[in-house]
Structure formats: C-alpha cells, structure tokens
Amino acid sequence: MVYLARTLGADLYGIIAFSAAVLIYLSRIADGGIDLGLGVREMAADSQATIALAPAILTARLVISVVLALALGAIALVTLPHPDGAVLATFGLTLIPVAASTRWIHLGLERTRAVAAARAIGEALMVVLVFALVRGRNDLLAAPIAQLAGDSLAAALLLWWIAKRGVHLRVTFDWNDLRPLAARSWPLVGSALLGLLIYNSDFLFLRVFRDRAAVGLYAAAYTLVSFLLNMGAAYNMSLLPRLTKTSAVRADHHGLYHMATAHVFAVSLPIAVGGSLLAARIITLVFGGGYGPSAIALSILMWTIPVCLLRDVPVMTLLAWGREDRVLHLTAWAAAVGLALNLILIPSYGLIGAAIASVATESIRMVLALAAVRRFGFALTEVKRFLKPVVAGFVMAAVLVVASPPTIWMALALGTFAYVVCLSLLGGITFARGAIPSLNV
C-alpha cells in the first residue's frame, strides 16, 4: 500500500482507498458473521458438529458473494467515472475468496500457524505482483488484480490444508441445518457493518465534502494505523477460542480477561505515544513529502490503537458467551455518534476533523463494551495494572522530547529502549533464564 501510494499519487491512491472502504462492507455480508467470530466460537465449542455444517456454510457464502460481486460490478461501471468504476468492479471479485476461506475452521481449532502462513503467502504474492505490474499511474487496475490473486491463493491453501486433515468440503446446502446459525449470525453481521461505518465513514464523508486527494491523504495515515490494528485484531481473535473454553471456570475466565486487557494496554500505549510524537517523520519516511498533510491526522489516529485493542477484549468475551445481540447494540449506538461527529467535524476541519471523530467514536464504543461485560460479572480491570505502562509511557515521551534524535530510526530505537527499560525497572517485564521475557502487569 505504501508503494501504491508513492507510485500512484494521492488522487489515484484515493480511488483504491475509496474502493476498499466500499468493498469491506460487502465482504462482511459475504462472510455472514462466520469469520467475524461466530464460526470460530462454534468450532471451539463443538468442532465435530460445526465441521458437519461447514460445506453448507461455504456454499451459502459463495452464492452470496458471487451475487454481490456481479451487482457491485454492474453498479460501479454504470454510475462511477473511469477509472473509479473499473477499479471498484475488479476489487469486487475479491469477495469470492473471502467466502471460500476456511480461516474460521483453523482458528476454531487453534491452528493459528496455518492461518498465519496462508495469509503471509497470499499477501507476499500480492506484493510481488504489485511491484511487477504497477510502474506508473497508468497501471492502476493492476492493484485490485494483484489483491484478487493473493486472496485466492490464501483461500486455496487453507482449503488444501483442511482436506489434508481429512475434512472434505463438498458443495451442498440444507437450509434447515443452517437456520439456527443464520439466526445468530445477523446480529454479528449487523454489528460488523456498523463497526465498519465507524471505521471508514470518514473516508466516505471526505470524498463527499472534499475530494479524492483528501481521501488519499487520510488513507495514507490510516494505512499505518490499520496495519497495527490488524495485528491487535489477530491477537484478540486468537483469544476467542480460549475465552470460550474457559467460560465454565469463573476464575480462569476472569483471569484471562484481565490479563489480556492489561497486556494489550502495555503493548499498545507506547505505540500510540511514539507514533503521535513522531507522526510527521513517519509520514515523510514512508510516503514522501507529498503526503505531509497526513501527519496531523496520523498523530491523532494513533490513539485509536490502544482504544480499539482494549475494546476488543470485552467484545471477544461477549462473543464467547454467545451474546452477539449485545455487540450489535453497543456498536449501533457508537455508529450513530460517529456519523454525527463526522457530519459536524469533516466539512469544517477536513482530515483533522475526521481523525478526531474516529478517536472519539472508538472511545465511546470501548466504554459501552466495558459496560456491557460488567452485566455478566466482569469488573473493570484494576487501575494498578495500568500504572507501570503509564509511567513508562511518560518516561518514553519525555526522553523523545528532550533528546530530539536527529533521525527517525534513532528516535524509534531510543523511544523503544526507554519504554522497555523503564517498564523492566518497574517490574512490568520479567526475565528468566532459558525463557523469553514476559509481561507482568
């Protein structure tokens, strides 16, 4: 994405960002809530029964994805100017490998290495194709083609590895078998769509009230944030099977919840602090001087990282308890607030308004998620578990401001060193011979 932004420029990169913003809604519909958590949870709870339903689930998802891809392509080519319509229509084909993915089966069985390997190989193919095919502004359409190839390879690898385990997924469909699962999936799909509205409605508002260059500049800032958020989402999704299996033992269940909350805060806080202070240097290094206006947006958006990761822990807990309806309710309230904030702030303040609205909305969503799990007996994590990372974060910020390293690499190294050393001195990181360091927060 960084290479595409540099090669295509902010205006054409804005087309890709806009297409991705539209497509991600349809991908959630094609998924049907399965990859979002429902399938993972069902696999963890009863793998044999869920594997028996897997062929029907995949068939239904494939039919829906093909219909969506065809409809999107027709609408995009008719209503959007060139090359916007062609790019969006080609991106629409990536809905098919989304529906064919068996990622949820592997995650439910806690085979996270297989998921990681398939994703890495697929993305590597996409990167190679982008570097090979996109050489200038005339090669815009090669970007969605490369994405389609990478996603298809990742889905094929996961299907192959499932078959090697003796699970044969034939094309079949039985609505009676799927009916109970479908009834539980729609709240999760609805909450996912509303969550996406929180996540990328700012792109859509920027396109309406500003121009596609503004979308490209904002997308540059969000590309870095999304990368880190996806890493956090991967951690929280791997947490779901464990939360599901420990739900019968209160002490283990609550202990895992509080440990995960403290851990994601300790890891994400220094990223937000350092990223906010070094935003201008990071943007210049990664995207070049032409993306300078993205820096202020990035410095604000970095604070969505600890907020979103803290929010996902109670959300995964609700999913472990089968309370998709609660997730839908809290996301709906947050989405309403987010739309209002975008409508108020973006016309007047542009990129800065969009970034402020995003952080504020995600903060509200986090508070609502924490309130939702309290009704199930989960008290707020003790404040003392956050004190060590907060102190280390202040020390890190002070060192960066006072030292003001001349290069971005020195700043990143110094900031990381200051945080790790301070947290270790406070006892937040423990060391043992023959073992990797562990968090003690």
CB proximity list for 308: less than 8 A, separation 6 or greater: 229, 232, 362, 366
Provide the 10 A C-beta neighbour count for residue 138: 11
Secondary structure element (H or E) that encloses residue 111, with its range: none
Handedness of CA 397, 399, 400, 404 (dihedral sign): positive
pLDDT tens digit sequence for 182-236 = 776 777 777 777 777 776 778 778 878 887 788 888 888 888 888 888 888 778 7
DSSP assignments along 121-182, one per residue: HHHHHHHHHHHHH--SGGGTTHHHHHHHHHHHHHHHHHHHHHHHTT--------HHHHHHHH
CB proximity list for 100: less than 8 A, separation 6 or greater: 58, 61, 62, 155, 159
In single-letter form, the type of residue at position 259 comes to M
In Å, the largest CA–CA distance within the chain is 66
Task: Copy the structure tokens of residue 392.
Answer: 């280390």
For residues 197 and 331, give the distance between their C-alpha atoms in angstroms, rounded to a whole number. Answer: 10
pLDDT tens digit sequence for 127-182 = 999 999 999 988 999 999 999 999 999 999 998 888 887 766 766 766 666 676 77
Secondary structure element (H or E) that encloses residue 430, with its range: strand 429-430
Q: What angle do CA 340, 341, 345 make, to 5 degrees?
A: 125
User: 169 versus 381: which is more confidently predicted?
Assistant: 381
pLDDT tens digit sequence for 58-72 = 888 888 899 999 999
For residues 54 and 100, give the distance between their C-alpha atoms in angstroms, rounded to a whole number. Answer: 11
Question: Are the C-beta atoms of 177 and 54 separated by less than 8 Å?
Answer: no
- pTM comes to 0.71
In single-letter form, the type of residue at position 286 comes to V
| 419: three-class secondary structure by DSSP | helix
Strand stretches in 233-284, DSSP E = none
Q: What are the extents of the domains in the chain?
A: 1-168, 186-381
